[in-house]
Chains A and B, each alone.
Chain A
Amino acid sequence: MEVVQLLLGGIASGCIYGLIALGFVLIYKATESVNFAQGDMMMLGAFITLQLTNTDYWNLPFWAAVPLAIAIMAVIGYGLEALVIRKLFGQPQFAVVILTIAIGFVLRFIAGFIWGHQPQSLETPFTGINLRFSGLVIGLDEVFVIGVTLVLTLGLYLFFAKTKLGIAMQAASQNQLAAYYMGVPVKLINGIIWAMAGGIAAVAGVMFAARGAIDPSMGLLGIKAFAAAVIGGFGSLPGALIGGLIIGIIEPFAARYGAPGYSQIAPYALMLLVLVLRPNGLFSQVQSKKV
């Protein structure tokens, strides 16, 4: 029973890592840059929802607050791309890495300034409600997290594989100039991608907040989500989810059965192992350059 309980908790937190990783992969797939601020965007999404729905703040109904928060984060994501990231169009990956790290710092500062640095809890309709099946306790929040993640991943996967816009987005990433000549509106597409990443960050933030307290530095969770993205292969959406699940499941088991002090290293050690064995990630897309 204990194993099943650990597994369920692991899957639920793994879904959250997976969702953050999904944000990384989304932006990587379309623009070939990595958004190091994804974790902080998740934090911001959580706080915006908290502002909208908590009784101490604006007290909107939860089911109205969440879509609103997603929309706000999408606008913020689009705005970031249009106002800042787009200025680096064509610059090397490294510049975008540094830029997004800086954006993360700014978001953390803004959140700390508005909402303070004390941990706060989001009020959700399913907080504290548990389902019991013959001795097994399943939190309603866990069911919610797992369900939403599955639906979202499937939706995004179909979007990239089947829709014209999704395919155009992939084309834009392979060769911006060529895509531009072929009539793909590269800039608009990058904006949409960032908006989507913002929306997903909001969803991840709500789910994280549903399971625990939030504070402005929770964005550092993003580092763990990197592990998920790397393990799953940086360019693969279902891979991101699987990577997230692996990390999420390893954590409680390492903490329960591993030696104290070593367990929190497990996700990072696993990621480093993957990188050492497959230096360009699983499902590597790096090919040797033709000269």
Chain B
Amino acid sequence: MSLLEVRNVSKSFGGVHAVKNVSFDVKEGEVFTIVGPNGAGKSTIFNLISRFYDVTEGSIKFDGNEITSLKPDEIAGIGIARTFQNIELFDHSTVLQNLLVGRHTKRKTSFIENVLFTPRVRAEERAHRRAAEDVIEFLDLHAYRNKMIAGLPYGVRKVVEIGRALACGPRMLLLDEPASGLSVEETQDVAYWIEDMQKDMGLTILMVEHDMSLVTQVSDRVLALNNGEMLSMGSPEEVQSDPKVIEAYLGVEDVT
């Protein structure tokens, strides 16, 4: 069954078409990757799904419900969590606090209860903490638990981004270039985590990524975009060998 249905979606910025008539489905439990050269519209699609942009045309359904009229802060609540390509963590908080912010949608207490710190709040804090510790355990972040984000190395921040999204307890995870700027070893870790998230946690993952080795290793299906248009869709091998994709990446040699 399809968890996410994107139908004939277009987005234009003042006459410039960033995304043109794109349709695809992401099945429950699948790792679906969008690839394409810079400016192909990959991040735009992410921003459309996470509602930072409004669609110009088309529909996006999550779990059967139309989401194109939701506000960006309502997306996490329905079970979609995302990471950011250029790391948007809360710099002046600790790793633990960042993960706990991820639990925001699960809170059940009002701000007045928070100020009074009633027993209910304490119980909730314990539950949040347990969930955050699970994420710390999974991503091996123990050493950084109480460290400020501002002083952490790039690779760790990248992992915390994934962790914060995981802490939201999502059904679908949007990973925006999770391996960009990472070393080969770190990229390998990301690949293992993605496999574990898919197999053990049963998460559906939609990913934008440039690193083709990572893409072929973890993806079930791949969508290639160029200039905002769909170029090719299928298994990683199919897409990689598609002449249209090769043309978009390498250009055609004009043989006369």
Touch between chains A and B, by CB atoms below 8 Å: yes
Q: Using a CB–CB distance below 8 Å, which chain A residues touch chain B?
A: 290-291
CB distance from A279 to the nearest CB of B (A): 18
CA separation between A290 and B43, bound complex, in Å? 9
Taken residue by residue from 51 to 89, chain B's Cβ proximity to chain A (1 for < 8 Å, 0 otherwise) reads as: 010000000000000000000000000000000111010
Q: Which residue of A lies closest to B44 (CB)?
A: A290
CB distance from B16 to the nearest CB of A (A): 14
Q: Which residue of A lies closest to B86 (CB)?
A: A291
CA separation between A290 and B52, bound complex, in Å? 9
The 3 A-B pairs at the shortest CB distance, nearest first, are namely: A291-B84, A291-B52, A291-B47
CB distance from A90 to the nearest CB of B (A): 14
The interface size bin for chain B is under 10
CA separation between A291 and B176, bound complex, in Å? 9
CA separation between A290 and B85, bound complex, in Å? 10
CB distance from A291 to the nearest CB of B (A): 5
CA separation between A52 and B52, bound complex, in Å? 59
B52 CB contacts on chain A under 8 angstroms: 291
CA separation between A196 and B86, bound complex, in Å? 37
A290 CB contacts on chain B under 8 angstroms: 43
A291 CB contacts on chain B under 8 angstroms: 43, 47, 52, 84-86, 88, 176
Between A and B, 9 residue pairs with Cβ closer than 8 Å are A290-B43, A291-B43, A291-B47, A291-B52, A291-B84, A291-B85, A291-B86, A291-B88, A291-B176
Taken residue by residue from 167 to 194, chain B's Cβ proximity to chain A (1 for < 8 Å, 0 otherwise) reads as: 0000000001000000000000000000
Q: Which of B2-28 contact A (CB under 8 A)?
A: none
B85 CB contacts on chain A under 8 angstroms: 291
Q: Which residue of A lies closest to B52 (CB)?
A: A291
Taken residue by residue from 146 to 183, chain B's Cβ proximity to chain A (1 for < 8 Å, 0 otherwise) reads as: 00000000000000000000000000000010000000
CB distance from A53 to the nearest CB of B (A): 51
CA separation between A290 and B18, bound complex, in Å? 13
CA separation between A290 and B86, bound complex, in Å? 10
Q: Which residue of A lies closest to B85 (CB)?
A: A291
CA separation between A290 and B13, bound complex, in Å? 13
B176 CB contacts on chain A under 8 angstroms: 291
B84 CB contacts on chain A under 8 angstroms: 291
CA separation between A206 and B226, bound complex, in Å? 62
